[in-house]
Amino acid sequence: VATDRVMGERRRRRPTRTGQVLSVDLIMRTCLRLIAQHGAEALSMRRLGAALGADATAIYRYFGNKDELLLAVADELIAQSLAQFEATGDWLADLRRMALLMYRTNLANPQVAILSASRVTGREHEIRAVETLLGILRGAGFDDATAVRYYHSFVDLVLSYSALDAAAQVLGPAQAEAAVSAWHGTYGKLPPEEYPNIAASTAELLSSMPDSSFRTTLDLFLSALAATR
């Protein structure tokens, strides 16, 4: 019985049709690869099964449902962000670096970012991230209550922006095209008498709106934190 637990990894599993031996880890890695290679819309249980060389329903031996699988993958993304982080002792620079790492990792896995932005996993890597961020803010000299408030704002800002930009990135070609033509076709051609402010800013609007405003917002947010310390 003890052996079963300790050697869980080595339990004999029947290989699939194509000889793969399934595991939680292999499924998560394949899931991430599928999203990275073929886009978020390619992630269905059937396609994941096919990529694993297994029947889609075999995955349900390892994850209760698709949502549970994606939450596990979400904690994995936090791990990836943390792995690239090294504290420098400069709290503002550290916050900025952490924000950019989280944002970048999320944008590389948009489907997961969208699903997990508003979820608390309570898993290993999420806890480490909370501890690290609270440490940075408390180390900056904020009292406990303020550190918590700013941690909350910081993490919600980064996660909500990640989800927003991930959703934009995941739009189908037709929808992305519609956004471009809304800006160039509609906003670029409004009568100046009726829309003087848009007319005065057209060039800036057309060049700015397709890009993310995350860096601008982050910098404004961090400068406000610095000002209250």
Partner DNA sequence: ACCTGAACACCGTTCAAGT
Q: Site residues for a second copy, window 53-92 (CB under 8 A)?
A: 67
| Dihedral (CA of 39, 45, 46, 50) sign | positive
How many Å is the Cα radius of gyration of the chain?
22
**Cα–Cα distance measured from residue 95 to residue 105, given in angstroms and rounded to the nearest whole number:** 15
Q: Which of a second copy, DNA, none does 1 bind, CB closer than 5 to 8 A by kind?
A: none
**Of 139, 135, 133, which is closest to residue 154 (Cα–Cα)?**
133
Q: Using the rule CB under 7 A, is 198 a contact of DNA?
A: no
- Looking at residue 142, the DSSP 8-state letter turns out to be -
78 burial class (0-12, 13-18, 19+ CB within 10 angstroms)? buried
Pull the structure tokens for residue 35: 């999203």
The answer to whether residue 145 forms part of the interface with a second copy (CB under 8 A) is yes
Residue 55 interacts with, from DNA, a second copy, none (CB under 5-8 Å by kind): DNA
Contact range with a second copy by CB under 8 A, out of 24-32, 50-58, 92-100, 212-220: 212-220
Residue 171 is encoded by which pair of tokens?
């739009």
CB of 13 to DNA, least distance (A): 4
Binding site for DNA (CB under 7 A): 11-17, 21-22, 43-47, 54-58, 60-61, 65-67
Binding site for a second copy (CB under 8 A): 67, 117-122, 127, 130-131, 134-135, 138, 144-145, 147-150, 152-153, 156-157, 159-161, 163-165, 167-168, 171, 174-175, 178-179, 181-183, 185-187, 190, 195-198, 200-201, 204-205, 208-209, 212-214, 216-217, 220-221, 223-225, 227-228
